[in-house]
Structure 1
């Protein structure tokens, strides 16, 4: 993924002013910054949900900023996965069904979708006993969300405050899993977080401040 010269403002407030970011396959980057600094706006631009005034967002060889809606939706489904703070899973479905649904919507044949869903969940330590997702622990739900994001073998995995709703022990477990994803599955990973300890696990940590993205040294929490 390569972000180049991204500019976006709301009313008279500049949130992104010439932002650049490159994360290669197998690498991870964390983006930190105070609430309202534009972190979620940056993710929205990468996903093609927000159209910036200027700039490019290249994912898997295509500039999502200039794609038409239908082509963008196909590209997003095929090449991008997202993990949200609260998982955004369907509680009445089993973990396997939640994960397989994402694959089915991406055009994967049913048998293959369920086979891949079960394999990912087992790899990530989530029980596949047929119980509905709402019976899982918080950590198991986030692991299910990671499996759902990976099921279509994306080039880019985005995580928006993925540990924000978890207790400390579960946060550490999910963080360890998440930052191991680029090595295990060969995708690029971008994590937006308020948690400095989570951010320090990334290969690079950047801070969004004053509408600019600047490098932050690991362990620097000033």
Structure 2
């Protein structure tokens, strides 16, 4: 479980305080596919970045199984992130000179593993329908295929959670729905908790739960 307690985030500049998150309290369970929606500037990405330890809160706590992740020392926080969290972004963020296989392997380059890295990547490529694309460069892949490579990269370390920030935002409707369905399958069949930001109300309504943010506050929390 992820438990967010009294979370606040403010930015300071030129004597002005901008509050991006205001006393957010939420709980997430891995069995749920959760979407977060809200207008631009409502704090969605900031919330996801704090949950993923890419940013830190001004006040409040983020607990993973009751452990406050921001009490973990810096040298161990990266290990925690690697073991527990996978990220998928709107921009695919693939390295243009690396093949699909190499891009997926990238998070493992400097790490020892208990599994065969190559076998793990080939397994993910097959799972995501990219078995024949392992030697392709990003420029040789469609947008939907590039996002599937990005999802495989997020999954390569078998994380417990996938945090996805507008993963369908750069895709057409058909490919957006395919990516959404892949994430749903990962949630239901592999027990990977999914928390996804989207502006697409149609996709949001297909999730187990939708959290609505406005001006940094939770204004609604709908379970289906």
By the TM > 0.5 criterion, same fold? Answer: yes
Equivalence for 1:205: 210
TM-score of the aligned structures, taking structure 2 as reference length? 0.89
TM-score of the aligned structures, taking structure 1 as reference length? 0.90
Cα displacement (A) at 1:218? 7.7
Give the unaligned 5+ runs of structure 1. Answer: none
Are 1:97 and 2:98 an aligned pair? no
1:49-198 residue pairs with structure 2 within 5 A?
Answer: 49-59=54-64, 62-108=67-113, 112-126=116-130, 127-198=132-203
Q: Deviations over 1:23-71 (max 9, x none)?
A: 2122111111111111111012112222212211123553222222211
1:181 alignment partner, SS class: helix
CA distance in 1 between counterparts of 2:206 and 2:155 reads: 20
Tell me, yes or no, if the aligned pair for 1:78 and 1:106 is still in contact at 8 Å: no
Cα displacement (A) at 1:87? 1.2
CA distance in 1 between counterparts of 2:29 and 2:223 reads: 19
CA distance in 1 between counterparts of 2:25 and 2:216 reads: 11
- Aligned match for 1:31, one of 36, 39, 61: 36
2:169 alignment partner, SS class: coil
CA distance in 1 between counterparts of 2:58 and 2:187 reads: 31
